[in-house]
Structure 1
């Protein structure tokens, strides 16, 4: 069934997500402060104009302050009962605040951050982690599945964001571990391919190794074979680990690896920003080990 959608935030992730909704037969009105809507997405002159006749409002924005500012701006313009689905990765507390503001304005809300990066957004293979009510998730699910391969209802408001930062803490820590292992292998005279052939079929197997391998060669599709041109930029990993670190401290969780990974990626992202994939941290580890190669 075709739905009228507003899509706010048409950057590297939002633009292909909106395009996939158009391909699925939905009417999409898009707005972004900078980017122009892609083919099939109807341009709106403002966010408020985009949401005015929408059944569902989807947002993909950089940070919690942007989401809260958007909701303050557009909630008065939306029709009562409109479903707001925020796909941004933001702080759990901000996600819950956004939900509360939407409900107070007579709307419904779902937080639904994604995993899969730009490649997943383009290929419609994202995984969505949703937080909110059962009814809201059931309504949003066909839209999420038009943009991805899997949608998981994780619990109440903020639960999607909680799942996202926990997942990405695992990813950040594991990428550092895999990168350190390859640098150790280099120092021991073990080839990249030999380590990959063993670890990818043994207990060291993980996504950071088998899909996003941080050294060129073993996994041809990994960013390491494209001079670390990002699929998932270092700056985004630093942001997500920063959110995880905030939650760890707030919850009193002793997570030495998670906090250390947040520090390492913050330093790495300060140097490379969005220009390198997060797997490029292997080069920093190598350089700090005394080998600039």
Structure 2
């Protein structure tokens, strides 16, 4: 069933996601503070709006893809709740803290709206290609309504449980990814110092107990394994600054529930060092160069 969907937040991820909604026959009313982002969305067929409220008016569903919890809370509380028609569905695909996600969903529910938190995994290429994974928090009814829309933008849509559980799944997953990438980088750096050829080490570990996604799908060593940002000067991919953001969300959530995350804390400290060195925009697998002292 095609719907009219308001899409707010058309950055590197949101732009590709909105384009895939259009490819699947939905009408998209788009808004972003960036004129360039809005122009790109319009070029794909979206109808540009002058404000979030204008985009939302009359929409069957509203998708948001915003930088942080304060932006999500500000947009919904400032424009979206008041402008949305009765029965509209809200889908927040931003990666934010669990507490804010639950607070905004509670506010939507109190106003009679269904809402899910649906952060994504997969990066810019997956957003453009429509192959994202969505981790969704919300009631069964809200998830059932959201799934067809999310499926137009991704390859997997998984119900993680009640409100906020999508964010919980996302930050736990990315904490694991961040720590695993650090371990992969230090193993390759150590292997090199011990006289092992990186390709030989990859050939062994990729089929042994040390195998991980960070090694076999996203190898941090240039020229080893499938094509990855390491083969392009660590440009593109998943930025160091975004990994640090997710690790901070994870360690803050861990502290709030008294969960022990020593590896998560260590990974966050190491990515903070990379950011301090001015590398926030490069891919997070750049960690290997720091560990090698480059």
TM-score interval (norm. to shorter): over 0.9
Match in the other structure for 1:66: 71
- State the 1:88 CA deviation: 0.3
Q: Which residue of 2 aligns with 1:226?
A: 232
* Structure 2 counterpart of 1:53, from 55, 58, 63: 58
Please state if 1:185 is matched with 2:191: yes
Number of the residue aligned with 2:99: 93
- Structure 1 residue matching 2:157: 3-state secondary structure: strand
Deviations 1:90-109 (A, max 9, x none): 00001001101111222111
Counterpart contact for 1:230–1:274, Cα < 8 Å: no
1:122 aligns with 2:153: no
> In 2, distance between residues paired with 1:123 and 1:198?
32
Distance (Å, rounded) in 1 between the aligned partners of 2:155 and 2:86: 30
Match of 1:271 in 2: 277
Deviation at 1:253?
A: 1.3
Return the alpha-carbon distance in structure 1 between the equivalents of residues 112 and 53 of structure 2.
16
CA contact under 8 A between 1:230 and 1:278: conserved in structure 2?
A: no
- 1:234–1:268 CA contact under 8 A, matched in 2: yes
Q: Which consecutive segments of 4 or more residues in structure 1 shift more than 6 A?
A: none
What does 1:130-279 align with in structure 2 at a 5 Å threshold?
Answer: 130-279=136-285
> Would the aligned equivalents of 2:216 and 2:226 in 1 still touch at CA under 8 Å?
no
| 1:280 match: secondary structure | helix
Q: Does 1:31 align with 2:37?
A: no
Partner of 1:2: 2
Give how far 1:230 is off: 2.3
Among candidates 77, 81, 85, match of residue 79 of structure 1: 85
- 1:275 deviates by 2.2
User: Structure 2 length as normaliser, TM-score?
Assistant: 0.96
SS at 1:232 equivalent: coil
Q: Which residue of 2 aligns with 1:19?
A: 19
Q: Unaligned 5+ residue runs, structure 2?
A: none
CA contact (8 A) 1:8 1:60 kept: yes
Greater alpha carbon shift after TM alignment, 267-276 vs 233-242: 267-276
Aligned equivalent of 1:104, options 106, 110, 127: 110
CA distance 1:17–1:212, change in 2 (3 Å):
same
The CA distance in 2 between the partners of 1:216 and 1:274, in whole Å, is: 20
Q: Please give the alpha-carbon distance, in whole angstroms, between the structure 2 residues aligned to 1:279 and 1:225.
A: 11
Check whether the contact 1:76–1:105 (CA below 8 A) recurs between aligned residues. no
Under a length normalisation based on structure 1, what TM-score does the superposition of the two structures give?
0.96
1:35-60 superposed Cα distances (whole Å, 9 cap, x missing partner): 22421111011000001111110000
CA offset digits 1:13-35 (Å, max 9, x no partner): 00000000000000001100112
Stretches of structure 1 that go unaligned for 5 or more consecutive residues are: none
SS at match of 1:13: helix
Task: Render the CA deviation track for 1:64-98: whole Å, top value 9, x for unaligned.
Answer: 00000000122101012211100000000010011
* CA displacement, residues 130-155 of structure 1 (integer Å, 9 cap, x when unaligned): 00011111111111111111010000
With over 3 angstroms needed to count, the CA separation of the structure-2 counterparts of 1:244 and 1:264, relative to structure 1, is same
